[in-house]
Structure 1
């Protein structure tokens, strides 16, 4: 599994969330909502330190990661994160990994 963050999403995280080099952002599953990979759950994120990180990527010194206890949510998919200026919203795409 891998995490892919687009340039526009990275800029959004830096400008709207205030992330900078040395910061860490966790993607995790939350109850309520739905996604293409899990009904009744959706994806959230929080600025926090890793405890049992299993997937990560670093862009401009910012660590984006997923913990071991959230891996089930992705059901064998890579996470692609993009930002759409027109909708002013992040878009999560789940791509089946090979």
Structure 2
């Protein structure tokens, strides 16, 4: 199980959330949205400090993480975060 944040996605988040090097982004479970993993739940992001990270990746000077308590959502799979340039949007792919 691993967290992969591709460089274009990290750059997009850095710009959109006005992130500076050394800051962090929490990936969390939220009610609603579109998911192929758990119906009725999806992933969201927020600029936050980690408390007990289960997975993390530092890209473009920013640490992206998922708290240990939220790893159940991935069902022992990994998460890849990509940026779709054609549609100018983020894709979160559980693989």
Q: TM-score, normalised by structure 1?
A: 0.89
For residues 4-60 of structure 1, the C-alpha deviation after alignment (integer angstroms, 9 at most, x for no partner) is 111210110122221221100000110112312111100000000111111111123
Q: Which runs of 5+ in 1 are unaligned?
A: none
Q: Give distance in 2, aligned partners of 1:4 and 1:68.
A: 16
Aligned to 1:87: 87
Q: Give distance in 1, aligned partners of 2:63 and 2:78.
A: 16
The structure carrying a bigger strand percent of its residues is 1
Q: Give distance in 1, aligned partners of 2:45 and 2:30.
A: 9
RMSD: 1.1
Q: Which runs of 5+ in 2 are unaligned?
A: none
8 Å CA contact 2:7–2:59 kept in 1: the answer is no
Q: Give distance in 1, aligned partners of 2:58 and 2:11.
A: 14
Aligned to 1:45: 45
